[in-house]
Structure 1
Amino acid sequence: MCRVVDLRQAVLAKNDEAAQALRTELTARGTTVVNLLSSPGSGKTALLERELLLARERGVAVAALTADLATENDAVRLARSGVPVKQVLTDGLCHLEAAMLGRHLDGWLPRDTRLLFVENVGNLVCPAGYDLGESLRVVLASVTEGEDKPLKYPTAFGLAQLVVVTKTDIARAVEFDEAAFRANVEQVNPGVEIVLTSARAGEGLGVLLDRALAIGAGGGAHAPVMARQQHAHGHDHGHDHEHEHGDDHDHEHGHGHDGDPGRDGDHEHPHVQTAAQTR
């Protein structure tokens, strides 16, 4: 008798176990993890750099880990803030996974870190289904990406605990319809907070930091309806192979990645190190 096994659900269930273990460990040591997801070019690195600088000015012990398919550009840029920064090169893998993140934090993350910002690989498809042990999941979208982005990528926006709109300084120039965007977000994730930001103009600066600190202090995060539904029906995270063409080649799953988080395609090269050490 042939038994059909849903490998997707099995992989995600295994990742969820690793994520919960990592969340428990980091929470016990007083570290709040913020998972940042967005399309490439959304401006999340620019905003994160400003937030890291602000955290340092306020005396908040913060660190950042950034993931890309190639180059250490983002880590070098973020390290200018003076906080601990680490680059992870996924070498084709389109997302981070909990076990992978845990290995990179082991022996690197300072013990007194209050906030860890994780800049996920740039796309809104693959990372959406993977819990990293975060306490706050943030999805960012720039005003140039279109008001219908939440409807096109309902899993990413539907699981967000905070939605950040970036580059608002050019909103008028690109005729961004804020009301339409808000309505579309509300359709897939009722009640989630939407924050308007501009790294260039300083609009909304500090809101991301404040929300993360509040959660670390025991405040509750938004509970998306989609997350509650998925919990009730098992581990189906809606990782349904939506294809966002142009977003870092979302379906590049080469290099022997067979869906097992124990073999997560983690191809960090020997030369990759804390960006602050490379400056």
Structure 2
Amino acid sequence: MCRSVDVQTAVLAKNDGLAAELRADLAARRVTAVNLLSSPGSGKTALLELVLRRARERGLAVAALTADLATENDARRLARSGAPVKQVLTGGLCHLEAAQLRGLIDGWLPDGIRLLFVENVGNLVCPASYDLGETLRVTLMSVTEGEDKPLKYPTAFGAAHLVVLTKTDLGDAVGFDSAVFSAAVERVNPGVEVLRTSARDGQGVDTLLDRVIAVADGTVPHAPLLAADHLRRHGHDHGPAETHGHDHGPAETHGHDHGPAETHGHDHGPAEAHDAHGHDHDHDHGRVAPATPA
């Protein structure tokens, strides 16, 4: 158990150092990076497409990077907004890391971009412990997922600068209890703002964009309950015994935005998911697939 804790601490500490460097570099370029975390099916892609569209309507220079285990579906959807989009296919890796993000944006992120949205892999466990050098971390969940989700995933919600509730148009249909949800959020992250949104009717989209712009303009975001040192000590929600033990090193930048997708040809096999018993799994960098506007 001691070895597992030591390995994970070292991995997270290295990632934090790279994230701090990336954060400084992005700040020097006046880029505000927004890390979007949620479980699969939360509706974050639909919401992000609207946010990108509204940002462009306001004349803002925005871009998006979206990560998935497979398919380029999300990139195609986001590209409909007209914003530059890059798809990352992780090939089984359940989260992004700072070294990967640096490699992905180097040579790709267009000059003059002000807002960069990073749609992390749909997963509320692994991504929560990895700082990407973002300016703002947003955790999303839909009304269909249950009011107690913040209590089940305290790291993801406790480390958020902003919490976004999605699919609010379905709240009555599924019997969503807003008061219970708000109490759960407050318990794991006191004082964090909760925005209620709906990609179907547009509720909250402009407010979310306003919050991001305010941070870009210098407004200090909410200080989340869980700081980086807490994440290093406690790791993921499974507890300190879980160790991923992978070290990706510098991520590579792949091809052009409209060229063919490249693949490294690694075979992940059953190591696609991290288990809860502290087993180490080796992963590659995944592959980057260029976004093609639909």
Name the structure 2 match of 1:262: 249
| Corresponding residue SS for 2:145 | coil
Quick check: 1:220 aligned with 2:237?
A: no
The one-letter code sitting in structure 2 at the alignment partner of 1:12 is L
Query: How many equivalent pairs are there?
Result: 258
Residue pair 2:154, 2:237 contacting (<8 A) in 1 also = no
- In the TM superposition, what is the alpha-carbon distance from 1:261 to its structure 2 partner? 3.6
Deviation sequence 1:52-100 (CA, Å, 0-9, x none): 0000000000000000000000000000000100000000000000000
Aligned to 1:28: 28
Q: How many Å separate the matches in 2 of 1:91 and 1:241?
A: 23
User: How far, CA to CA, are the matches of 2:14 and 2:191 in structure 1?
Assistant: 29
Aligned mates of 2:81, 2:125 — CA distance in 1: 29
Q: Match of 2:67, SS?
A: strand
> Is 1:203 aligned with 2:203?
yes
Aligned equivalents of 2:112, 2:135: Cα separation in 1: 17
Unaligned 5+ segments in structure 2 are 251-282
Q: What is the CA distance between 1:32 and its match in structure 2?
A: 0.2
What residue is the counterpart of 2:259 in the other structure?
Answer: none
Q: What is the alpha-carbon root mean square deviation over aligned residues?
A: 1.9
Give the CA deviation at 1:130. 0.2
What stretches of structure 1 of length at least 5 have no aligned partner?
243-250
Q: Distance in 2 between matches of 1:69 and 1:36?
A: 16
Task: Give the alignment of 1:130-145 within 5 angstroms.
Answer: 130-145=130-145
Letter aligned with residue 268 of structure 1: R
Shift of 1:225: 2.0
Q: 1:199-246, CA deviations, whole angstroms, 9 ceiling, x for partnerless residues? A: 10111111221111111111101111221xx53x6832532437xxxx
Q: Deviation of residue 125 (structure 1)?
A: 0.3
What residue is the counterpart of 1:275 in the other structure?
A: 292
Which deviates more, 206-215 or 50-59?
Answer: 206-215
Does the 8 A contact of 1:37 with 1:124 survive in 2?
Answer: yes
Asked if the contact 1:53–1:81 (Cα under 8 Å) also holds between the matched residues in 2, the reply is: yes
Consecutive aligned runs of 4 or more in structure 1 exceeding 4 Å deviation: none
Secondary structure class of the residue paired with 2:163: strand
Identical-pair percentage:
66
1:147 matched to which residue of 2?
Answer: 147
TM-score (norm 1): 0.88
Q: In the aligned structure 2, how far is the partner of 1:234 from the partner of 1:34?
A: 19
